[in-house]
Amino acid sequence: MNNKKTIALVTMLLLSGCASTNDANDSGLLGVKSPGSGVIKPTNATEASMLIAQSQASGNADSMIYAYRQALEFHQFNKADVYFNIARLEQQRDNNSQAEAAYRQAMASDLKRPELKEALALLLVDMKRHQEAETLLQEVVAADQSRLKASTGEAGACVTDNESPWRSYNGLGLLADIMEQGEQARQYYQCALNIQPGLAMLHTNLGFSYYLEGEYPQAERALTRAVNQDPQYRRAWSNLGLLYYRWGRKSEALAALRKNGSQAEALNDLAISP
């Protein structure tokens, strides 16, 4: 893959952490620091529920993970849900190994919930474990096609309804673009758009896929739909500006990039001295 595609694909990543915490700082499968000596270990499900509510009100990730771990001691809680919540918190903190472990525990607790497999797969995309991610995403999509009693013959072909896994289709599109399989990627994005036609992120990914293949008119149409769907979506404006610049439409490129900042910032994005 050439440098332009490698750099550009970074902007298409599906997942991003909300904080940076080194995995090495935590010990054990789901290790977290104690939330403090003032916290009483719950002795029943009611107290565990209160502890979860208090931790959520505090917004402290360590406290929330501690509370969820205590809830695992009581059969009244759905273990798959608890592990899922732990996994999402760990993922937000960029503790990917702990998040993966928790997602796998959630899946082991309930094998019939595709959203658990999908969440793990998207984490693996973020961890650049592409082959594992693709296998899981294909399984999610295949299960949905089976639910809808649809054929799964052609790659990228899909029958969908409003319950279909658009995130899985979008993830498969991203992976196909990484593998420079642009036509297949766009089929997957179209499947996702069948489910979520108003989502600017999906139009942006579709437009960027066209851009990578040098199909600028199609890219412009998709990216324009994205900014029309969500005028505040910065990545769509950035990609539209990049497209116009590569297309030789410099004034339109600057106009698009100015949606994200000043004239000087726009010029800097294009590596042009003001």
**Cα atoms in the Cβ-side hemisphere of radius 13 Å centred on 241:** 22
Least trusted range by pLDDT, from 93-97, 148-152, 269-273? 269-273
pLDDT of residue 126: 95
Asked if residue 209 has pLDDT above 60, the reply is yes
pTM of the model: 0.81
* Whole-number pLDDT of residue 269: 62
Q: How high is the pLDDT of residue 38?
A: 56
pLDDT in tens, 171-191: 999 999 999 999 999 999 999
Q: Where are the alpha helices (DSSP H) in the chain?
A: 3-9, 45-58, 61-71, 79-92, 96-109, 114-126, 130-147, 166-178, 182-195, 200-212, 216-229, 234-246, 250-257, 263-269
pLDDT per residue as tens digits for the range 98-114: 999 999 999 999 999 99
Confidence of residue 273 (pLDDT cuts 50, 70, 90): very low
pLDDT (average), residues 77-94 = 97
pLDDT band with cut points at 50, 70 and 90 for residue 156: low
Domains of the chain and any CATH numbers: 198-274 (1.25.40.10)
All residues at 6 or more sequence positions from 152 whose CB lies less than 8 Å from its CB, including other chains: 141, 142, 145, 146
Residue 152 has pLDDT above 60, yes or no: no
Average pLDDT value over all residues in the chain: 85
User: What are the tens digits of pLDDT across the range 5-62?
Assistant: 433 443 343 433 333 333 333 333 444 445 554 567 999 999 999 999 999 999 999 9
Is the predicted pLDDT of residue 270 greater than 70, yes or no? no
Q: Report the pLDDT value the prediction gives residue 122, as an integer from 0 to 100.
A: 97
Q: Is the pLDDT of residue 245 over 70?
A: yes
% of the chain exceeding 90 in pLDDT: 74
